[in-house]
Amino acid sequence: MRRVIALVERAATSDASVILEGETGTGKQVAAEAIHRASARRDRPFVVVDCGAIPRELLESELFGHERGAFSGAVADRAGLFEAANGGTLVLDELGELPLELQPKLLGALERREVRAVGSNRAVPIDVRVIAATNRDLAQEVAAGRFRSDLYFRLAVLEIRLPPLRERRDDLAELVERLVSRFGVATPPWMGRKEFLDQLALHPWPGNVRELRNYLERSLALGEPARLSAGAREPESPTQIDLAVPLRAARDAFERAYLELSLRHHEGNVSAAARSAGLDRLTFYRLLWRHGLK
């Protein structure tokens, strides 16, 4: 974390593009905001766009804006998020979800420092510092042909990896105190005891700091340490399988349980859950629909 903090401080002294990499819940948006607040752009807009949450047919309009009549439903001119962030910082969260066909347009906007709204021939100059955040390894995505190398190298002037919580267990005591203070209450004495912190250190924290924050809030509401959720269950051995259940029913039950566990683990992020399962997002969605989970 000392290395991360040093890189964040260096990033704040320049206007270079930054890629923040790390698992879900490791604090990539917090790091992006820290860079912005310590930079010369601190008094200008700080705009975050989640590239994975916006339908791909609307993402271009969200980023670059559109003119009235550019497409069905465009009843008025609308400025995009690049213009909204003009003079400040634009955070492209979940950059790895950016559709391949939109990547050349983003690269062009960054290279020319101008945007062109959907349906317009007029270029609008922009002055925006871009910080990208992703839970994917973009270098691997480039090698696999799922992300453009020219866009990657344009953004990866500085790369900062946020470590998962399981790699920074020594920070747990300080994190507990800091997170509890944000709830506006004093840290209960039992939260500072070695027994409590030792239990936290044994947990894998797949949701990282976000999961820790939710756990602490739950414990405060109960007035005592909440039960830590168990990790993924070990596969059942053949002797534990009920052979009276038809194979199709057993397969369906396992599939539904797997989908539910995966969604909880990835905090509802379908794209991340699909990648973890080795499936494309559409196939994963079809499974969710089939089991009534979406």
Domain residue extents for the chain: 2-161, 168-222, 238-290
Q: What is the pLDDT of residues 50-103, one digit of tens each?
A: 988 888 778 888 899 888 877 777 778 888 899 999 999 999 999 998 999 999
pTM: 0.73
The pLDDT assigned to 246 comes to: 63
Q: For the domain with range 238-290, which CATH number is right: 3.40.50, 2.40.128, 2.40.50, 1.10.10?
A: 1.10.10
Q: What mean pLDDT is reported for the chain?
A: 87
Q: What is the pLDDT of residues 240-291, one digit of tens each?
A: 555 555 666 677 778 888 888 888 888 788 888 888 787 777 788 878 877 7
Contacts of residue 208, defined as CB under 8 A and 6 or more positions apart, other chains included, come to 23, 24, 25, 26, 27, 164, 165
The pLDDT assigned to 207 comes to: 87
Mode of pairing for the β-strands spanning 129-134 and 89-93: parallel
The pLDDT assigned to 83 comes to: 94
Pick 158 or 74 by higher pLDDT: 158
Q: How far apart are CA 31 and CA 182, in angstroms?
A: 17
Architecture per CATH, 2-161 = 3-Layer(aba) Sandwich (3.40)
Q: What is the pLDDT of residues 100-141, one digit of tens each?
A: 999 999 999 999 999 998 888 888 999 999 999 999 889 889
Q: Is 188 helix (H, G, I), strand (E, B) or coil?
A: coil
pLDDT-derived band at 236, boundaries 50, 70, 90: very low
The pLDDT assigned to 288 comes to: 84
